Chains A and B, each alone.
Chain A
């Protein structure tokens, strides 16, 4: 058989197997429904109201600022490992990188993104 024919056979077999499993389960499985089954899992109290509510935009601002410094540490770790062999030039690069990041923080600070309103 060529690869195309094998592909077709495998494809059809897969469809038959999956649909057979679903149909058999639908036919022979025992079924019981009650109210508690429809609720979310396990812990906590039942939710009230709709979950489509608006969150305060401040959370996103803080998350973005956090992300900025999170990424910074990720980039600083590898530099710290080979700091000695990189020498002064490596230090300057990292300082410039930090300068750009601090600029971002200064911007957010000055524009009042850090105040919780």
Chain B
């Protein structure tokens, strides 16, 4: 008996990043409890500092090959480690942008903000590294329940409560749909381990039904059309820092997990899910773009933009090749810097003036040239204009889909890129060309968000030219 328990504990040896994060979590909670009212300022530094250390320590983890623990429940490899590091970087950037909000408006709950955000991150880690549908589901719920609390963080604000209600109801519904799919998988395959499901999957109608239910549940999490209806309201109502976190980290982790599960558990019948995904991608990109054109609130606008970006991410998933995985992770990596730059500016301006409408941004260049410049970079990069990082990520993801012969799909996506350029440039036009009676006054950013915006700007400008990143991802990616 003791032997088995020792074997059991040896599994923790490869969970470096999760254990580090749990330590940071406990540290932040204890610091929040015992620093008291006077230590609020130190609490923020303790939380950001300890998590920054955890982020740095994540880069020292390396496995060489694929590793598994707890009888295949937990799987990890260099690719998984890299995805977790990317999530770490994004979370750290969100912390930078949320610093000002936590210092003023959210003063009394700043400890909870860090604790809940890190809890969702832990859930995403488990989700990414799962080798079994049960661990995947636990990770998913660990990621989405604290997320609902985060969305409802502005207690006094009715929009925030509405957003949280919509988020938790959709999350519950999608979990139900997904669990039904998983139960059908268990019923027809006799196992929940991804590799055993792959062997037992014969393309029976009930198994296809199970797969479709599972895909629908994932579609809710990644907010693919037709499961996207919660996105706009939740993004608009949630505090801006939380929206930034939701749009990048939550989406990125779920997309990578979706890709892993499709590659590992359903790789014997790729044509079935590729057909479904084909239509989902076309509808997602088109609907996301068409709805984004008409938005007047920037947070809503970015919500629809992120829906269409999710469609582009799925272009890498549909190819099912190592190249597809590389380009998906690369896309998420670039998307993180780009989208967080946009949200950084929005949260800065919203925190200090309370304005988020697109008309409010008229004449922003005259009063806040630096903010307008960074916002322009972010919009260009989201639209995929050449010298910026967003162009390279789009290029690779189209290349991955074209390599598998999905020419029509790539063509539709390219057409949509042109549509998206129109509305991304609307923001730029508002900032540079439109005149305004009372433009947003010159704001003074706090140091933390300047650091965060600086990192994002550097990321947008030069990441596309650093080929070793892409080559490293290519060397560790795997296909079906």
Contact = CB atoms under 8 A, between A and B. Distances in A.
Interface of A: 82, 85-87, 89-90, 100, 103, 106-107, 110
Given A87-B1, A110-B33, 11 more contacts: A85-B2, A86-B1, A86-B2, A86-B5, A87-B2, A89-B6, A100-B26, A103-B29, A106-B33, A107-B29, A107-B32
Contacts of A110: 33
B29 A89 contact: no
B411 interface: no
A103 B2 contact: no
A100 B1 CA distance: 25
3 A-B pairs with least C-beta separation: A85-B1, A89-B5, A110-B33
Contacts, number: 23
Interface of B: 1-2, 5-6, 9, 26, 29-30, 32-33
A82 B1 CA distance: 10
A90 B4 CA distance: 11
Nearest to B32: A107
A62 to B, nearest CB: 19
A93 to B, nearest CB: 8
A85 B4 CA distance: 11
Contacts of A89: 2, 5-6, 9
Most B C-beta atoms less than 10 A away, residue of A86, A87, A107, A110: A107
A89 B4 CA distance: 11
Contacts of A106: 33
Nearest to A87: B2
A87 to B, nearest CB: 5
B206 to A, nearest CB: 14
Contacts of B29: 103, 107
A110 B6 CA distance: 37
18 contacts: A82-B1, A85-B1, A86-B1, A86-B2, A86-B5, A87-B1, A87-B5, A89-B2, A89-B6, A89-B9, A90-B5, A100-B26, A103-B26, A103-B30, A106-B33, A107-B29, A107-B32, A107-B33
A112 to B, nearest CB: 12
Contacts of B9: 89
A7 B197 CA distance: 29
A86 B33 CA distance: 34
A106 B32 CA distance: 11
A102 to B, nearest CB: 12
Contacts of A87: 1-2, 5
Contacts of B6: 89
Contacts of B33: 106-107, 110
Contacts of B32: 107
Contacts of B26: 100, 103
A86 B3 CA distance: 9
A87 B33 CA distance: 33
B118 to A, nearest CB: 14
A30 B30 CA distance: 69
B427 to A, nearest CB: 41
